[in-house]
Each structure stands twice: as structure tokens, then as C-alpha cells.
Amino acid sequence: MTLLPQKVIKLDSYAGELRLHSGLLLGENNKMPVPKFRTSASKRNMRRSHHALKAPGLSVCPNCQEVKRPHVACHACGHYAGQQVMEPKTVNSSWDGSGADFNAEA
């Protein structure tokens, strides 16, 4: 096993501070804030008690009975409050697999 040369970090000490050559200053006034105590499992779990994901609330479209988000126009039929308010968003229904639309010149 060969010993590789260690990386040398030159330090200029000045009034209790250590200034690395990169300009990073390490000293009394340049401490990173660090928690004084380890967070207990209880406190950690209390903090995480709000982290669980909830399933989105869903409703059924009265026009086409598709599952949709409440208070939002139905993407399947474009109806909202009994009126057609938008074009239905057809996902992949017009795609023939050729990629002609995708490859077409703009």
C-alpha cells in the first residue's frame, strides 16, 4: 500500500480565527447555528404528525358520472353546473400511435 500525499490546507491564524485559503472564515463569530440538544423521538414524531399525505377529495360528475375534483369543471365532458364550459380534455384518445402530431413541423 502506497501512501498518497495528504491534501494540505494552509491556515492563517488571526486573532483566534482560522481563515481557509478559500476565504471561508472559521471563528467565534462564524459558527453555524447548531441545535443544543438532540431532538427526542417524541418531539420528532410530534413534528412529523402532520406529514402524512391525505387522499384528495373527489366527487362524481352529474353529467357523465366520471370521478372529478369538486368545484372544478369535469375534464371528461367539460361540464360545470349543468353547462358545457370547456372542451373535454381527451387524453390519448386521438393518438394513433404514429407520432404524426408530435413529429409534424410546426
Amino acid at 88: P
Q: For cell 402530431, what's the residue?
A: 101
66 touches Zn ion (CB under 5 A): yes
Write the DSSP string, 53-68.
Answer: --PPP-EE-TTT--EE
18 touches Zn ion (CB under 5 A): no
For 30, the grid coordinates are 462564524
64 touches Zn ion (CB under 5 A): yes
77 touches Zn ion (CB under 5 A): yes
75 touches Zn ion (CB under 5 A): no
Nearer to Zn ion, 18 or 61 (CB): 61
Instruction: Give the one residue of 17, 18, 63, 80 binding Zn ion; rule: CB under 5 A.
Output: 63
Contact assessment for residue 60 and residue 69, using Cβ atoms and an 8 Å cutoff: no
* DSSP state, residue 103: H
Contact assessment for residue 63 and residue 77, using Cβ atoms and an 8 Å cutoff: yes
- What are the residues facing 20 on neighbouring strands? 11
Q: Tell me how far, at minimum, the Cβ of 83 lies from Zn ion, in Å.
A: 12
74 touches Zn ion (CB under 5 A): yes
73 touches Zn ion (CB under 5 A): no
Which residues sit at the interface with Zn ion, rule CB under 5 A?
A: 61, 63-64, 66, 74, 76-77
